[in-house]
Structures are given as structure tokens and as C-alpha cells.
Structure 1
Amino acid sequence: MGTTGTPTKITQGSTTKGGIGESTLRPDGTLKVTGEFAYSSDMWHEDMLWGQTLRSTVAHAEIVSIDTSEALAMDGVYAILTYDDLPAAMKNYGLEIQDTPVLAHKKVRHHGEPVAIVAADHPETARRAAAKIHIEYKELPLITDEASATAPDAVLVHEGRDDHHIGHVPHPNIVHRQPIVRGNAEEAAKKADFVVKGEYTFGMQDQAFLGPESGLAVPSEDGGVELYVATQWLHSDLGQIAPVLGLPEEKVRMTLSGVGGAFGGREDISMQIHACLLALRTGKPVKIVYNRFESFFGHVHRHPAKLYYEHGATKDGKLTHMKCKIVLDGGAYASASPAVVGNASSLSVGPYVIDDVDIEAIALYTNNPPCGAMRGFGAVQACFAYEAQMDKLADEVGMDRVEFRQLNAMEQGTLLPTGQPVDSPAPVAEILRRVKARPLPPERQWESSEGADVRQLPGGLSNTTHGEGVVRGVGYAVGIKNVGFSEGFDDYSTAKVRMEVINGEPVATVHTAMAEVGQGGVTVHAQIARTELGVTQVTIHPADTQVGSAGSTSASRQTYVTGGAVKNSCELVREKVLEIGRRKFGSYHPAWATAELLLEGGKVVTDGGEVLRDLVDVLEGETVEIEAEWRHRPTVAFDLVTGQGNGHVQYSFAAHRAVVEVDTELGLVKVIELACAQDVGKALNPLSVIGQIQGGTTQGLGVAVMEEIIVDPKTAKVRNPSFTDYLIPTILDTPTIPVDVLELADEHAPYGLRGIGEAPTLSSTPAVLAAIRNATGLELNKTPVRPEHLTGT
């Protein structure tokens, strides 16, 4: 494997204990479950100040005036900054489009937008000072939906747009538009014996990570700043922070601190720039920790969506065509909306063979909360709609719903609507077969000889029923999710690996900038090093910007790309170690020159298992360190007229069967089981694989029956920014989640692996909705399902 990551054959690797394929335990696991793990909010520094953000109380308004005098006069207040106090020419930031002001300038565009920041010697002093800043607003008309955003006389959310998308959108309030046209959907529709249409509404979901945004900025003697922060992408943050501070990147040194979950919500900047600005202004360390209320305003959310679909099929069940329009509400700033549009459009057909399609996806600028990356990233919304359509169409044709899907399922070699072939296993029919074949949970399992177990009933411990009016439903769904960054993005990762002898034992150190956000990358990196270098002891260096970029912990890409970089670097280190061995000991045994040599169990061995030397002997007095990159094969941007192009790297597939009990009188739902089958290519750590699939499944369950950020349509204000009113599944809501793991290797990927973290989030939501429809006979075209949707009240 070269330094650019040219794929090699798939190998089983070393037999060293704790290597690839074993369920090794997480090094941070015990600390996290016992509460001893140090998160970014736990950081402390002597003489530290506390930062606080003042946020807008209205969604769209001109800023008439800002008066900070009363707040500045308070004891303990060290600094207050507004837009006019920012030090550099660059005062905006953004993942792709730099449209987000560090602090609001002349106007605010959404409820909760940062307007001013305060540094004080106590967090309560900072909060009180922020409350004493007086701002006069002149409210402006609101843009809240497609109709208000695209009207000819619509107020522009961003005047004078000049980003690279403006030339191909029909209105300045559209962030990005991606059509995909293949074949002739109009002509194909004439061949359909059955046509179904549907309009679907997908609610705004919050990432709901348990550790709110936090970080510590420490000014350094060279005029720079050290930032310790919970994030998903250190180098992306660095590229946005440094220009605003007016500093070269080498003077902004970033270290990853403990991350309490992410799910896409930490891809964007939150408190990073604010903490650095206050630290540089005051000359003191500044810590910022959001409370839960502020966290709801401090990060982006999943795009709510309207989806309009039409499908046709022949009387023997073959799909004829598909038309759809997907409207994503991006909120006030672009964030990742362009990429979400690309995913939603290119994956809008689902894992099915349809030759004739007419697709359009757009993202809007509105005065609603900004939306961006969240687990599933555009494919989640599309899957909810196309899977409902598959059930409708199967019923019209008169076929079993699973068999209908299997009849139309893609497989390896299928051309996607973008014209890209699926060139790795696509076991869509097989994973559907597996979830359907699994035995169903017992009927009326809440009943026992000792009496009813109310925990198994809708309403649970609230004891609302003992089974009266409770009916069962079963539903199926399957989804397709891309892996890695797409559309021509230079997606790569970097890893530095060092081997040396410490206290008489060979030790490998792995250093990457990968953000460990709970996905278990630090475990997998150690497993790769043990496999490739034959050592037991592996140290994972803290992630920081002193090594090359690892890209974002998102898009199910880290094991693929950063794992690939670690593998690549380890292979290069191994070759260097063997060179040293040949130089030192090659004359002692002819196999040094003639045999395939491996590193296993701390020894150099031949491919026949003969031990040539201990690694300690080879490495004594030597240190081998190599930093190398790994890139997957290139992608291209989708054509802006036809949508054609090889835009994605790899695909991941998951299927679910949901079993629910519904109290039809009270409109309460209990999800009993969410069985999943998923192809993971190669389970590098089977225990972590199961955990990722179960976690993604639970997140999909949340948006199916409880999770939604409610935005008042009249004021564009968030109505439920707390875990009291924004509900997430607890252990009592989480069903049994049996998992069937397939390992069908993708020859293009390291070890044949396939990104896994997002695919189960796609199909679990429509499976739950399908099961509730099966139980009630209702159409239910909106997430989440609420009691009033089931009872008509």
C-alpha cells in the first residue's frame, strides 16, 4: 500500500492477541461508566475566567443598538465583545460557505444567534453581566417555509450572496439545488399499472448528545492560543478559527478533550472562536460551558423536510419509475446543507432498481434554527419517504411487502440514478430475508401467571392499560447510506506511528487527529497496530493539530479512512523494522533475505511460523516513526443539470423489522423489538459493531415516536429547548435489538470493512412507522408519531 492509500488485497492480519476481529474492550469504557472520565467541561486552569454568550431573543430583526456599559461596570467583568470588537478582517466562518458571523452584525437571522460575549471571574457573574447588555431590535418579516422563502417578493435571508452555489439556484433563499434525471420518468409512468403518490413531513431532530458544548482557551507566550475542545474535526475548526483571530494556523494549537457524544452536532463551530477571542483579549484562560438550554441553540440540528414522491409499478411488481421533490429547511445559515442536498437527492431512490427517475432536492435559507450534519445526513429523510411508498405500492400490487422489496432490490453491479455502479456487495434482498425469518416476540408478552408486567405495555409504568385496546403491528424497512465524503471532496486522513522499546518491551504509538466522540476509533486503531506490527502494547496519543488532518468523525468514514491511514503507516513502519533486522541479523539466517517476514507476538517470524528474532533485539537502540496519509479512490461532483457522476465511495445497507404494541384508545406506542440485519464488510471489533448498530437504531426510534424540536411558525422561536420537553428514548423506551451481522468484504476498503454507524438510523424510523400503520390502519406520513395522530384528537 502506497502513501496515498492504493488498495491492496484483503488479509487476515496477525494472530497477535487484541488484533483485528476481536471484541477488545474500550480503553475509556470503564472511566465513562463510572463517571471518572474527564470531559471537556471538566477542564480547569489557574486564574481562569468564564465566558458567556448573549443570544438573540427574536428570530429576524435589525440590531438598532447595543449598550454594554451597565454590564461592563460590574465587578468581576473583564471583557465584553460585540461584532465591532472583532480583531481581523475575516469575521464570518462556515463549513463550506462562510456565511455565519462570529457575532451578529447589523441583524439577527434566527432565535438564539450570538450577539455578544462576556468574560468574568465567575460563571454566575458572566451570566448576570450578559443579562445587563441592552439590545434594541427592529423586527423584520419572517421566512419560515418554502412558500415564504421562494415568493417573488420574498425577503432575502442573506443579501448579496456571492457563494459558488448562487449561479445554479432559482432563488437566493435556496442554498443549493441538485436535480437527478435518468431515463424518462414521464414515458415510463405510462407503462405503470399502479401509481402511488405521497407527501411526507420529517420533523427537526436534535443530536441530543449528553455532553454540552465546552472548551478552554489558554493564551500562549508567542501571542497565540491553546484550545482544548470537544469537536468532531480539529483541522476544520482550525481553518475557521485562525482567520477570525488574525493568527497563522501554527499559532492556534488545538487538542481534543473528552467528547460527550456528537452525531454531527459538533461539526460546526460553537464556542471555539468565542473562547479564543476572550482569552486573547483578557490575556487569561477562558472556559465556556453551555448549559442544556443554550446547547439547543449552540449547534445545528437535523434538517426538517417535506418530501413529495410518486412511484409506479407493473402488475407483476416491477418498479417502473420514480419522481420526487425533497425540500430541506436549512435554517438561517448554510452549514452542511449543500452536502445534505447531495446525499438526499442521490440516495432518494433507496436500495432499489429504478431506471427512470426525475429527482429534485433543495435546501432553503429561512429564519428557523440552522440545520446541518446529523447521523444519516439527508439519507434519513429520504428513507422515511421511499419506504412508506414501497409499502403503499406493494399493497396496490397485492404482494407481500418484503417480497416486493426483494423483487426490486439492487445488487452488486446495479447502476444508481447518478449512473454510478455499485461495485461492492449489496445484499439488500438477503438482509430483508434475515429480519423477516427471525422468530417474532411472543404475543401478549406482558401477561404472566403473576399478573401483568406493565413495563411491556404502551404507557409503561404509568399503568394506563392492562392490555385493553392494545394491538400489535409489524413493519419492515431497508435503507442505503453512502460512506465517506463525496462529490469530489479530497477525503483523506493522516496517521503517525512510532515503534520503540520501552522498559524492555516493544511498544507502538499511534498519533492521529481523529476525534474520538464515542464511536470507538481509539480501540480500532490499537487493534490495527497490534495486527500489523505484532505488538501487544499500543499507546494512543491524544488527538491534536500537531499531526496531519484526520478529517471529520462523521459520514461513517473514520474506521475506513483513518483506520486506513493507521494501517498504511503501520505497514511502512513494519518494512522499516524489517530493514533494521536484515541489517543487524540478516547474516545469521538465510530466511531474513528469502522469506515473507511477519511481526507477531513481539517476534519476527517467517510465513512458516519460524521465529527469527525478538522484536526487542531488532529495535533495541532504534526508534522508527513514520507519518503517512491514506486516500480512498476519488469521487466527482454531480452534474448540476442531470445529477450524473460517480459521487460516492462506498455504500452501507441495513434492514429492520419493527414489532410494536399500540394502545389505540390513548394513542400510546410501545416498540417491543427492532431486529436489524446489516452488512459491515468486516467486523474489526464485533462488540463495537453491535453497539454502533444498536445505538443508531435507537436514534431512529427516537425520531419515529418522540423526538422533534418544535419551532413556532409565527415567531420562528424554539418552544422546547430542554430535555424536559424534547424527549429522547430512555432505557425503558429502548426495545430488544437483536442484530444479524453480515461480513461481505468490499475489496476496495482496508480489511474489506464497510462504514456502519449511520445505516441503522435510516431504516429503523420507517420500520417503526410501518409497524404502527400495520397496527392501526392509519396513513401516518409525519415524524414523529404523536398520540393525537393515532386517536384523531
Structure 2
Amino acid sequence: MGVTGTPTSIKQGSKTKGGIGESTLRPDGTLKVTGEFAYSSDMWHEDMLWGYTLRSTTAHAEIRSIDTAEALAMPGVYAVLTYDDLPTEVKNYGLEIQDTPVLAHGKVRHHGEPVAIVAADHPETARRAAAKIKVDYAELPVITDEASATAPDALLIHEGRDDHHIGHVPHPNIVHRQPIVRGDADEAAKRADVIVSGEYVFGMQDQAFLGPESGMAVPGEDGGVDLYVATQWLHSDLKQIAPVLGLPEEKVRMTLSGVGGAFGGREDISMQIHACLLALRTGKPVKIVYNRFESFFGHVHRHPAKLWYEHGATKDGKLTHMKCRIVLDGGAYASASPAVVGNASSLSAGPYVIDSVDIEAIALYTNNPPCGAMRGFGAVQACFAYEAQMDKLAAKLDMDPVEFRRLNAMEQGTLLPTGQPCDSPAPVAELLRRVKAMPLPPEQQWLAAGEQADVRALPGGLSNTTHGEGVVRGIGYAVGIKNVGFSEGFDDYSTARVRMEVINGEPVATVHTAMAEVGQGGVTVHAQIARTELGVTQVTINPADTQVGSAGSTSASRQTYVTGGAVKNTCENVREKVLEIGRAKFGSYHPAWATAELLLEGGKVVTDGGEVLADLVDVLEGESVDLELEWRHRPTEAFDLRTGQGNGHVQYSFAAHRAVVEVDTELGLVKVIELACAQDVGKALNPLSVVGQIQGGTTQGLGVAVMEEIIVDPKTAKVRNPSFTDYLIPTILDTPTIPVDVLELADEHAPYGLRGIGEAPTLSSTPAVLAAIRNATGLELNRTPVRPEHLTGT
């Protein structure tokens, strides 16, 4: 990794060892590598029951009746619950629109929808009991695409919709619609010397986290419940769970348990309410652990999309206009679809200067699996299409594809299609220059001179399908733009509690937030921030729970920015309180207590010149400071529903990729040799973690480029490949070399100048791989993932 660039002047605290800018190791790293880390599925209670969910076997049907008698009669079964057993009148939940029933009522709307839940003394007993529940379905026609969803006589997925989006959508089966109009695209098109258009298809991707949905609910003596669960947003879960249970929020106590990955798939409720209902009904702890098959039905996926784009450019390569229409399939329930529409539309032009745009993005209700948040949501689908368009324009103008992009690249001060100025560094052209300048891997590295080919490095790998015949190399480039944080006027904030005290003769800081650690490294960064601001070595990170204020969701690349910002802000206030105590105790002994800027460093109070005034142990003897504070970044605003104008985003992040692939053009097999990345991170708070995030996001983008797709039968809307046997994800043998060049150009609006990084590399890696395959084959390839038949025509 190369960390380069000169950050703008950002005030930082002390230089205590293990602070900001160091590659400190994760406290849970060794445990995870050795298999000793306790995930949510590892929890155990001596008298616990096991929960199981009965799911619909059809995608759209009326429920005529449900007979649970035989299941209830089984030995070892403690409870069987259906919709009619729910304890309150609140029977739906949802992130923004409460349209998802806790258990199906009246009809089922997608394959795998929960219909009933069972609690038993053994997981196999619960499973067998669920199989004995008799559900009488009356099949209904399925709605699977825009044509069937918006036809005048289309069945409504949700009859009687009354959510706040219904007033601006042209059909009740459209969840949300966001147009963006700036300039006059039709008039600008007249100035174009070349115009290209394309239709693109983006497949449904699964988050494919390794730890399936799981958790344990324990009934409390006060009539409440304690829930230990792997999730991305404790307080959002709480607000959805408590009304269904009929309990005040203070009686639903939530604690984060070990999370085995998330990537957006844990933003929505899965087993949380079901476990609580069963625990409260039986009076016993109830544990639910999905198997892999259930997990495919138990969480949302990335929206599949159909995208139409038109771009124009002058003969000297300047973009004149852009038109696009993006149709996202949201499936049966809304989940995060409105926010995905907002991202897809507002970022659909990419990181380019285009003064005239005509954009429309919609999300549909269908009977396909529900779709919602996944790493880079909305922006990933758009980037795939607009980057293919950039290559088409460059080819038509006979220009180098990187130089064409650099010519049109946005920069700080550029107005985006929404009219919002980019008021922080936007080094798009520089990232492209850097990634192009990185050394290329050697040609035909799979064949050493005079030796037999190493099939592991060939397309097809260990399947031993080729020894190099018909293998062609291709190189492709892409760059993307992603927003950071929640957008469109959402009150995005986080809370942190910090305590400073002396324990066993040593100053100690304790940090407590509700941030969900899902692998992104917040538990490391929070300790680094506390060391930097409070000058202590010993920092304890308390488990995340709802006994502290909300930290928001671990999504939208926001946690280091927002919860990190909350920790920094609270630490700064704690530091001032500590210094007030010191001034009261020792200020009369040295004038610097009143006249100098004071820092906490290495367990001491020091002046900005480095003079030691006191030990923190002496300052805090008999004292402690404990503060809990909320922190907010600058506000955003909703996009205008007619023009799409508005300052809707907090911050933008940028990444560029160069893909090198080798393609067996006879067999249609692809081997990605290298995916080089250049990304601006503002400030690398933990450089090792930064590189890990970039490489992880890059690999997920590779997956959707060449292998990952949930296949849904268009006639029945049933999922055909709900397992890792048939849904393929990259393994270590598929993952290429991923060299990373990290640029640090600070955003003066953000804590430490940092920039959210987790999602941007997922955007540009996919179109870079597709561009490289096109370069190798000469084929248009307008869909993901690329399959062998797309390359061979079979």
C-alpha cells in the first residue's frame, strides 16, 4: 500500500501510542482467525428452547387456512404462533414503510415469507413440527417485472397503500420515484457530435455473509425481554420490535452479539421479533439460528436493475448531456428501496461534469424476493451502466478510455446533477492517473518458460479445462462516486459515552456506543480516537447495547465518520472536564495551566510546547468524568420530487480500478489476474484496516461481475439457487492480486478529515472487470454477471 497526498490542516490531539494514523491490530482478530470468537449462533442457555420459522412455498397466494393442531401435539413443542396469535394491533414492521407483516396474514407475497413460528426443546423437533403445520394456499398470478407490475389491470402487491410515497408515484406497485432534471438534455444533445446509448441488466446479488441470522431472546422478570442478536442497527430494531410486543422500549433490552458479516443484509428485521414472541409466550429463552437455505429467504438482497442510458459528447471529448432511466426491483416489501432510488438517481451521472441531465429512477413492488441495502446500494448498479457508456464514447471518439474520463472528471467545486456542489477534494482525474500508472502484472504469468502451465492461474483453475489455448488478456478501467452517510434530510447522528478514571493506579478511558461491529473495525478506531484525544494507553470498549443512545446503522460508510465523530466529540469534552479538575487542583502552582493550550498525552497533562504539568493519575485521584453526548454532522435536505434538486448528501467518496483479466474465448472462462485500486480516504485512521476494507469491497464487486446472482424463476418468482452450492461467491482461488494506492486528501468538514471508504471500491471494481473482458473479447456484454454462454454465444 502507498499512502500519499498532503492532508489539509486538521487539528488532532496527542500522539499517544496506538492513536490515530497507526495500524493497530483488531482486539477480536486473533479470536476470529483461530475460531474462538463467540458469534451470535454460539450462544447457549441451559434451559433454552429452539425456534424455527415455517415459510411459504409459493410466491403469491391467498392463505385460506392454517392448521397447527398436529404440530402443537408433538412432544417437546412449547408453542406454535401464527398471525392471529400476535399480542398487539401492531403487526407490521419496516425500516421506513411499515409494510412487512411479522407473520403472513391473508396472503403471502414472496417465496419464503414467514407464515408461522415454532418453539421446541430441540432444533430438529422444531423443524419437524413446522413441517406438520398445514397451510391451504390459493395461488395468485405473480408479478415479476415492470410490465406486469404497472399494467392497468395489475394486481396490487399492497392494497390500500397509505405511505408518504404514494402521492408521487404513477402506480401503486411503484415504491418510490425520483426524477432529476438539470439543464435541457434534449437541447444539449443537438451539440453532440457522437451519441451512444445502451440497455444494461444488473443481477440480484446476495450479501453472502458467513454467519447466518441468529440470536437469543430471554424473558425478563419484569415482563420485558433481553435480546442478544447479530444486527447492524440496535436502535432501529428496537423501534420496530417493541410496538409488536406491546412493550415500552425500556423493557426491550438489546445487546449486540458476535456478527459474522453483514454488508446491508442485517439492516432489516429477520428473527428478532420471532424469538421475542416465542420467549414471551413460553417464559423460556429461545434461540433461533437460520441454516444457509433459510438465510437466503431471511434477509433482503441487492436490487436487480434494468438501466437505459444515453450520453453525448463533442468531437474533442467533452460530455454534452446524459439521459437515463433506472428500474430497480424491490420485491415484495419496501425495505430500503426509497433510499436506494435516491442514491441511484442522484449518483447516476457518475463522477463527471455533465451540465444537462434527464434522470428517472424507480423501485417496483413485485413478488420477487425483497431487496434492500447492500454495500454501495443504488450507486453500484448505476456505476456499472455509466462506466460502460464511458467506454463506448471513448471508442467512438477513438480516445484512450482513461484520458476520456479524466477530461470529463469532476473536481472540488463541481455541481452535481442535484445542484449540490462538491465542497471537498474530488481527485477523480488523479485517481485514474495513479491506477493507470501502477505496474501491470507480467504477461502470461500462468506459464513459466519451458515448464508446464500452472492450471491454478488459468481460466477454469483446478477444473483443468485449458492449458492456455485460446486465452486472451484484457485490461479495463472504471471509476465511481458514492455518498457517505444517510441522506435526504434524515437526522443522522450518533451517541457516545466516555468515562475517564483511575483504575489500579493507571488512567483508563471507557468508550460505550451502540455501534454494531460487523467487521468494519470500529472497535479498533474508537480506541485509537480515545488514545489520541485523552492521552491514555488503556482504553476499554464496552459491548454495544441499547443502554446507550443510538449509533445509527453500520452502513452507508458512516460509522467512522459519525460514531467516530461522536467518540471524538465526547472525548474532547471529557478532556476539558479533566483539565478543569486539574486547574482546580494544581492551577495555582504553574501559570501554564491558565495560559497554555493543554493536551493529555502519555498519561500526563502537557502544554502545546511539551512541558509536563501533572500526571493524570494525580489529576483524577478520587475523581472521574463520565459524559454521554450526541453528535451530528452538517444537515442534508430532501431532493425535490419534481426536479431532484437539493443538497441531499453529506460527503462523497471516490475509487478507481484497473482490471487485468485472461479469458478463454473458446470455453467462455474468465480469470481475473489483478484488480488494482486507487482511492482517496481523506485520512487513514488505521491504514491496515483501510486496505482491508478496500480489498474486501473490491472482491465483492468482482463477485457480481463474473459469478454472483440469485436466480429467480420468472414464471413462479421462486428462488432457484438458495445455497452456496449453487450461488457462487469468490474464494481465495478466485481472488486476484489487489494492489492499493491510498490517497489522503482531507475533508475539512469531517472528523480528522476522514472520508467513508467501505463502499466506493465495490462500485468501480465490477465495471472495470467487465471493461477488461470486453477489451479481451470485443463483445458488448451489457449484463452482470458474465457467464460462459455470454462469451461463446452458446
Would the TM-score normalized by the shorter structure come out above 0.5?
Answer: yes
Q: Which residue of 1 aligns with 2:348?
A: 348
Q: Deviations over 1:509-560 (max 9, x none)?
A: 0000000000000000000000000000000000000000000000000000
Q: Give how far 1:713 is off.
A: 0.5
Q: Deviations over 1:13-61 (max 9, x none)?
A: 2110000000000000000000000000000112100000000000000
Query: Partners in 1 of 2:629 and 2:224 — Cα distance?
Result: 28
Q: Is the 8 A contact 1:674 1:738 kept in 2?
A: yes
Q: Deviations over 1:165-187 (max 9, x none)?
A: 00000000000000000000000
Q: Which residue of 2 aligns with 1:35?
A: 35
Q: Give how far 1:322 is off.
A: 0.3
Relative to structure 1, the CA distance from residue 2 to residue 17 in structure 2 (aligned partners, 3 Å threshold; closer, same or farther) is closer
Q: Deviations over 1:369-393 (max 9, x none)?
A: 0000000010000000000000001
Q: Deviations over 1:143-170 (max 9, x none)?
A: 0000000000001000000000000000
Q: Give how far 1:337 is off.
A: 0.1
* 1:435 and 2:435 correspond: yes
Relative to structure 1, the CA distance from residue 221 to residue 7 in structure 2 (aligned partners, 3 Å threshold; closer, same or farther) is farther
Q: Which residue of 2 aligns with 1:771?
A: 772
Query: Partners in 1 of 2:450 and 2:481 — Cα distance?
Result: 44
Q: Give how far 1:620 is off.
A: 1.1
Q: Is the 8 A contact 1:318 1:408 kept in 2?
A: yes
Q: Deviations over 1:369-423 (max 9, x none)?
A: 0000000010000000000000001111111000000000000000000000000
Q: Give how far 1:450 is off.
A: 3.8
Q: Which residue of 2 aligns with 1:77?
A: 77
Q: Give how far 1:8 is off.
A: 13
Query: Partners in 2 of 1:504 and 1:233 — Cα distance?
Result: 36
1:103-252 correspondence to structure 2 within 5 Å:
103-252=103-252
Relative to structure 1, the CA distance from residue 305 to residue 673 in structure 2 (aligned partners, 3 Å threshold; closer, same or farther) is same
Relative to structure 1, the CA distance from residue 362 to residue 4 in structure 2 (aligned partners, 3 Å threshold; closer, same or farther) is farther
Equivalent position SS for 1:3: strand
Relative to structure 1, the CA distance from residue 516 to residue 456 in structure 2 (aligned partners, 3 Å threshold; closer, same or farther) is same
Relative to structure 1, the CA distance from residue 748 to residue 278 in structure 2 (aligned partners, 3 Å threshold; closer, same or farther) is same
**Unpaired stretches in structure 2, ≥5 consecutive residues:** none
Relative to structure 1, the CA distance from residue 605 to residue 519 in structure 2 (aligned partners, 3 Å threshold; closer, same or farther) is same
Moved more, 483-492 or 434-443: 434-443
Q: Is the 8 A contact 1:3 1:629 kept in 2?
A: no
Relative to structure 1, the CA distance from residue 2 to residue 705 in structure 2 (aligned partners, 3 Å threshold; closer, same or farther) is closer
Which structure 1 residue ranges, 4+ long, deviate > 4 Å from structure 2? 1-9
Query: Partners in 2 of 1:600 and 1:146 — Cα distance?
Result: 61
Q: Give how far 1:586 is off.
A: 1.0
Q: Deviations over 1:290-322 (max 9, x none)?
A: 000000000000000000000000000000000
Query: Partners in 2 of 1:6 and 1:653 — Cα distance?
Result: 17
Q: Is the 8 A contact 2:705 2:786 kept in 1?
A: yes
Equivalent position SS for 1:47: coil
Query: Partners in 2 of 1:461 and 1:11 — Cα distance?
Result: 53
Query: Partners in 1 of 2:450 and 2:745 — Cα distance?
Result: 45
Query: Partners in 1 of 2:405 and 2:189 — Cα distance?
Result: 19
Query: Partners in 2 of 1:370 and 1:687 — Cα distance?
Result: 35
Query: Partners in 1 of 2:678 and 2:58 — Cα distance?
Result: 46
Query: Partners in 2 of 1:5 and 1:279 — Cα distance?
Result: 55
Between the aligned residues of both structures, percent identity stands at 92
Relative to structure 1, the CA distance from residue 99 to residue 405 in structure 2 (aligned partners, 3 Å threshold; closer, same or farther) is same
Q: Is the 8 A contact 2:350 2:480 kept in 1?
A: yes
Q: Which residue of 1 aligns with 2:760?
A: 759
Query: Partners in 2 of 1:153 and 1:590 — Cα distance?
Result: 82
Query: Partners in 2 of 1:294 and 1:4 — Cα distance?
Result: 45
Equivalent position SS for 1:715: coil
Relative to structure 1, the CA distance from residue 132 to residue 196 in structure 2 (aligned partners, 3 Å threshold; closer, same or farther) is same
Q: Give how far 1:12 is off.
A: 3.4
Equivalent position SS for 2:661: strand
Q: Is the 8 A contact 1:5 1:568 kept in 2?
A: no
Relative to structure 1, the CA distance from residue 604 to residue 6 in structure 2 (aligned partners, 3 Å threshold; closer, same or farther) is farther
Q: Give how far 1:7 is off.
A: 16
Q: Which residue of 2 aligns with 1:318?
A: 318
Moved more, 578-587 or 230-239: 578-587
Equivalent position SS for 2:600: strand
Relative to structure 1, the CA distance from residue 7 to residue 179 in structure 2 (aligned partners, 3 Å threshold; closer, same or farther) is farther
Query: Partners in 2 of 1:6 and 1:648 — Cα distance?
Result: 25
Equivalent position SS for 1:604: strand
Equivalent position SS for 2:372: coil
Q: Is the 8 A contact 2:6 2:744 kept in 1?
A: no
Q: Is the 8 A contact 2:562 2:633 kept in 1?
A: yes
Query: Partners in 1 of 2:741 and 2:393 — Cα distance?
Result: 27
Query: Partners in 2 of 1:763 and 1:784 — Cα distance?
Result: 14
Relative to structure 1, the CA distance from residue 8 to residue 322 in structure 2 (aligned partners, 3 Å threshold; closer, same or farther) is closer
Q: Deviations over 1:98-131 (max 9, x none)?
A: 0000000010000000000000000000000000
Equivalent position SS for 1:575: helix
Equivalent position SS for 1:374: coil
Moved more, 83-92 or 6-15: 6-15
Q: Give how far 1:439 is off.
A: 1.3
Equivalent position SS for 2:426: coil
Q: Give how far 1:2 is off.
A: 35
Q: Which residue of 2 aligns with 1:305?
A: 305
Equivalent position SS for 1:358: strand
Q: Deviations over 1:177-226 (max 9, x none)?
A: 00000000000011111000100000000000000000000000110000
Query: Partners in 1 of 2:285 and 2:550 — Cα distance?
Result: 26
Query: Partners in 2 of 1:756 and 1:71 — Cα distance?
Result: 49
Q: Is the 8 A contact 1:61 1:138 kept in 2?
A: yes
Equivalent position SS for 2:192: coil
Q: Which residue of 2 aligns with 1:712?
A: 713
Q: Give how far 1:452 is off.
A: 1.5
Q: Deviations over 1:227-254 (max 9, x none)?
A: 0000000000000000000000000000
Query: Partners in 2 of 1:6 and 1:773 — Cα distance?
Result: 37
Moved more, 171-180 or 458-467: 458-467
TM-score (norm 2): 0.99
Q: Is the 8 A contact 2:498 2:626 kept in 1?
A: yes
TM-score (norm 1): 0.99
Q: Give how far 1:6 is off.
A: 24
Q: Give how far 1:9 is off.
A: 6.9
Query: Partners in 2 of 1:72 and 1:5 — Cα distance?
Result: 66
Q: Is the 8 A contact 1:705 1:786 kept in 2?
A: yes
* 1:780 and 2:781 correspond: yes
Q: Is the 8 A contact 1:5 1:631 kept in 2?
A: no
Q: Give how far 1:449 is off.
A: 4.3
Q: CA RMSD in A?
A: 2.8
Query: Partners in 2 of 1:190 and 1:558 — Cα distance?
Result: 45
Equivalent position SS for 1:429: helix
Q: Is the 8 A contact 1:2 1:568 kept in 2?
A: no
Query: Partners in 1 of 2:6 and 2:403 — Cα distance?
Result: 39
Q: Is the 8 A contact 1:435 1:655 kept in 2?
A: yes
Aligned residues: 792
Q: Deviations over 1:558-600 (max 9, x none)?
A: 0000000000000000000000011111112111111111100
Q: Give how far 1:10 is off.
A: 1.6
Relative to structure 1, the CA distance from residue 508 to residue 658 in structure 2 (aligned partners, 3 Å threshold; closer, same or farther) is same
Relative to structure 1, the CA distance from residue 729 to residue 86 in structure 2 (aligned partners, 3 Å threshold; closer, same or farther) is same
Q: Is the 8 A contact 1:514 1:551 kept in 2?
A: yes
Query: Partners in 1 of 2:476 and 2:2 — Cα distance?
Result: 46
Equivalent position SS for 1:656: strand
Query: Partners in 1 of 2:4 and 2:128 — Cα distance?
Result: 53
Q: Deviations over 1:706-737 (max 9, x none)?
A: 00000000110000000000000000000000
Query: Partners in 1 of 2:80 and 2:224 — Cα distance?
Result: 20
Q: Is the 8 A contact 1:654 1:759 kept in 2?
A: yes
Q: Is the 8 A contact 1:225 1:276 kept in 2?
A: yes
Relative to structure 1, the CA distance from residue 2 to residue 718 in structure 2 (aligned partners, 3 Å threshold; closer, same or farther) is closer
Q: Deviations over 1:445-504 (max 9, x none)?
A: 11x444311111101111111111000000000000000000000000000000001111
Q: Is the 8 A contact 2:459 2:670 kept in 1?
A: yes
Query: Partners in 2 of 1:2 and 1:584 — Cα distance?
Result: 47
Query: Partners in 2 of 1:459 and 1:402 — Cα distance?
Result: 30
Relative to structure 1, the CA distance from residue 73 to residue 26 in structure 2 (aligned partners, 3 Å threshold; closer, same or farther) is same
Equivalent position SS for 1:697: helix
